[in-house]
Amino acid sequence: MWNHLLQLILIGVLLVVGGALAGRAWAMAVKEPESEPRIEVLAGIGGGLVTGIAVGLSALFLEQAISASQERATWRASVEGAASIPGFTVADHDIEGINFSGKSLRNADFAGVRLQGFRFRDTDLTGADFRGADLSGANLIGANLQDADLTGARLNGALLHSANFAHASLPGRASFEGALLNARTCWPKGLERDELRDRLRDTKVQAYEDEQSGRTLTGHEDVEEDELKGGQQVPDCTLWKNGLRVRPEG
């Protein structure tokens, strides 16, 4: 940082000197045409300084661009290779194309981020901030969203099979239109059953293969099981207990 600052100061000084010499040469050419040798010298020095400054600025900006590109590549590689990033924050980074599946991103900050089609399969998103985020079409199969804040989030067409929303904040503005669920998607206790039914009205329920019982639970059987379309509600969630995925025995 300090090296770049010193370089800019030096370039600024040279620019002033070069401009002054070029200006002096022009003034002499107007007022003292007989001083041609001196005019040529001053003009040459001034022009050389200005040209050198232009080259120096180009090199400096190129160096900064390369450095920034390397920093972005390093940051991206570290995110893609990490299994756990508590408190992950997008900030001004480009996350397009990163696969977050299987990672632990507890208390991550995705507020207001466009996450259309992103992959969060089996990702631990406990306590994550998704306020105003667009998760349309995102893959959240088996994701743990316990205590997550989804105020104003869009999950239209998202894959929510077996996802855990226990204790998540799902105010009325969160949209689930066209989302895909199954009989083991876990919903928070705080929502009244009638309100939850209304919220899930425009979702689609797909079959769930229950490994413990060997049964295939279709949308119709899901409703018969607990009178709720598209999953279960805390504390009756079969796959999720106390924020942890319950694995089938045997």
**Which pLDDT score is estimated for 67?**
65
Residues of the chain under the 50 pLDDT cut? 21, 25-26, 35, 39, 42, 250
**Which pLDDT score is estimated for 2?**
52
**Which pLDDT score is estimated for 209?**
83
19 Cβ contact list (under 8 Å, min separation 6): 46, 50
Extract the tokens encoding 240: 């999720």
**Which pLDDT score is estimated for 50?**
61
**Which pLDDT score is estimated for 39?**
47
**Which pLDDT score is estimated for 70?**
79
The model's pLDDT over 136-154, given as tens digits with 9 standing for 90+, comes to 999 999 999 999 999 999 9
What is the C-alpha separation between 230 and 234, in angstroms, rounded? 13
The model's pLDDT over 88-122, given as tens digits with 9 standing for 90+, comes to 999 889 999 999 999 999 999 999 999 999 999 99
What is the C-alpha separation between 64 and 146, in angstroms, rounded? 42
**Which pLDDT score is estimated for 227?**
81
